[in-house]
Structure 1
Amino acid sequence: MSNAWIYPSIILGGVLQAAGAPINGVLKASLVNPWLASAVSFMLVTFLAIALFWIQPTPLPTLTELKDMKWWAPLGGIVGAVAVFAGLTLVQKVGVGAINGLTICANLIASIVIDHFGLIGVPDHPLSWLRALGAVLMVGGVALVMKF
């Protein structure tokens, strides 16, 4: 993929992610059980990933790469599942703006901490006053969205 598509792809992902909570909320309302709704949602993702893997099965990791993998590396899906479950169970109670705003603010603040300390294998990106101001403004904006 050329670099020209990086930011539009991220923006498209954000737009689609905004629709994820209400879509999952409707799924939960239809299936009644939040665990069943979560299972159905993730089954579809699993089937898609398997289909794409069958289409393009390489590259594959070597045994050494598997052995050297951090123990927590496969947990990303479970981390994402927490956000999906929160969205599908709470979107009808607080609204899409609140769910996504709080999720994005929490994500941004956690990301700044991860960047600043170089956690989870990312290079250090120190906190500056402008980055901190951006986070504060984001939190303020989300507070306004939630209040009004």
Structure 2
Amino acid sequence: MGSTGAATTVALAAGIAGSVQIALLGLLGQRVGELETAAFAFVLTAVAGIVILLVMRQSVAGLGSALREPAWLWLGGLAGVFVVTAIIVTGPRIGIVATSALLIAGQLVAATVIDRFGWFGVERVPIGWERVVGLGLLVAGALLTLRR
């Protein structure tokens, strides 16, 4: 399998893991509290990340390198805090499908704007009518998942 095939497989697996994450963290949040679950998830993620870093790189020196980068780049990590906390709160209230659909719709609309304007140093990608129609259908579909 080439690098595109491997990347596709990893992205698909991450999507599956995301749905499982919404279900499990939502349930844990109902049992022990939403904020407690979020904090637990972040601690567990940090420990797992450090273990992976130590196994793969035999060092945590890269953490110091990240600290020397501009602080605005750290917003990516804080965005993860928001996403995880949001799924813990919303999953049990609106369901796994609606939570996933709205998260993906929001992500793709924001990604389109980021691509269009080349924000954060990404290459500019024009927005054609096909993309606008696709996003409109995606958002409409996501909103339809709210109906039970």
Fold shared per TM-score above 0.5 = yes
The number of aligned residues is: 145
Query: Counterpart of 2:43?
Result: 43
Matched, 1:142 2:142: yes
Structure 1 stretches of 4+ moved >4 Å: 58-61, 63-67
What letter is aligned with 1:98? A
CA distance in 2, matches of 1:88, 1:45: 15
Distance 1:47 1:147, change over 3 A: same
Per-residue CA shift, 1:76-114, capped at 9, x if unaligned?
121011111111112111111111111111111000000
Q: Provide structure 2 residue ranges, at least 5 long, that are not aligned to the other structure.
A: none
Distance 1:64 1:106, change over 3 A: closer
What letter is aligned with 2:98? A
Query: Counterparts of 1:31-110 in structure 2 under 5 Å?
Result: 31-32=32-33, 34-57=34-57, 67=68, 69-110=69-110
CA distance in 2, matches of 1:42, 1:74: 15
Aligned-residue offset at 1:3? 2.9
Provide the TM-score with structure 1 as the length reference.
0.87
Q: Provide structure 1 residue ranges, at least 5 long, that are not aligned to the other structure.
A: none
What letter is aligned with 1:124? R
Aligned residues: percent identity? Answer: 26
What letter is aligned with 1:48? A
CA distance in 2, matches of 1:70, 1:123: 20
Distance 1:50 1:132, change over 3 A: same
Query: Counterpart of 2:23?
Result: 22
* RMSD, aligned α-carbons: 2.2
Bigger shift: residues 52-61 or 89-98: 52-61
Query: Counterpart of 2:3?
Result: 2
Per-residue CA shift, 1:28-67, capped at 9, x if unaligned?
12212x2211111111111111101111227956x99865
